[in-house]
Chain A
Amino acid sequence: DQQVKQNSPSLSVQEGRISILNCDYTNSMFDYFLWYKKYPAEGPTFLISISSIKDKNEDGRFTVFLNKSAKHLSLHIVPSQPGDSAVYFCAASLISSGSARQLTFGSGTQLTVLP
């Protein structure tokens, strides 16, 4: 039972165009969402996050949109660059027992930006 789903395993985009990566979740108790980026043979690195009290957060070329009614979030990368080619993981967070927040990850989307 995947609570966080990334239904597109891969996405190819031309350099300079917009990349849109999508993520759906089922647990309405999630209140914080994050995107991680992962290059081969490296650990994931934090990219951008959004609290459930917001519907948009922007950081440079990266913008995350949250639609709580649809339980959907998306990551927009504009303009896309070849160095953005990586696997992108969506993650959701809620307070677990003992006050530690756990992350539930989606299965990832491989983004390829073509020069």
Chain B
Amino acid sequence: NAGVTQTPKFRILKIGQSMTLQCTQDMNHNYMYWYRQDPGMGLKLIYYSVGAGITDKGEVPNGYNVSRSTTEDFPLRLELAAPSQTSVYFCASSLRTVLSGNTIYFGEGSWLTVV
């Protein structure tokens, strides 16, 4: 009963370092998303993918890269980490586009601090 799995759960990065947040889902969902949540704010979409090999920018893509080589995996890469990227990151997936019955399922979140 895994659903959407994100790793790592917690990470501290130094300014300028790079890292990859891993995300995998076992529900055979076509759509996958990466969101970030800053304190007191709603979730903001970073990147999304509508299927393997297809990715697109969301609302706040700067400083991030993604790839979707398989249906299951959607890693998020941070290049040259900056303090502004300190946030909680949520990976999510949905079977089809968000409409009645096709809700988004979220992972548990990854807490990232850049110092």
Q: Residues of A at under 8 Å CB distance from B?
A: 2, 4, 6, 9, 32, 34, 41-46, 49, 51, 89, 91, 93, 95, 97-108
B residues with a Cβ closer than 8 A to A are 4, 31, 35, 40-45, 48, 50, 56, 58-59, 90, 92, 97-100, 103-109
- Are A105 and B97 closer than 8 Å at their CB atoms? no
Q: Which residue on B lies nearest to A94, using beta carbons?
A: B98
A107 and B41 contact, CB distance less than 8 A: yes
- Given A4-B42, A43-B107, 7 further pairs, Cβ under 8 A: A43-B90, A45-B106, A51-B100, A100-B56, A102-B48, A105-B43, A106-B42
Contact present for A43 and B48 (CB under 8 Å) = no
A-B CB contact pairs (8 Å), 6 listed: A2-B42, A44-B43, A44-B90, A93-B98, A98-B50, A105-B42
Instruction: Give the chain B neighbours of A101 by CB distance below 8 A.
Output: 97-99
**Are B42 and A108 in contact, with the CB atoms below 8 A?**
yes
> A107 contacts which chain B residues (CB < 8 A)?
40-42
Find chain B residues with CB under 8 A from A44 CB.
43, 90, 106
Nearest residue, chain A, Cβ from B40: A107
With a cutoff of 8 Å between Cβ atoms, the chain A residues found around residue B108 in the complex are 41-43
CB distance from B52 to the nearest CB of A (A): 14
Tell me which residues across on chain A come within 8 A of B35, comparing CB atoms.
105
Q: Which residues of B contact A91 (CB under 8 A)?
A: 42
Contacts of A100 in B (CB 8 A): 31, 48, 50, 56, 97
B100 touches A49 (CB 8 A): yes
- Please, how many angstroms separate the alpha-carbon atoms of A66 and B109 in the complex? 30
User: With A and B bound together, what is the CA distance between A105 and B59 in angstroms?
Assistant: 12
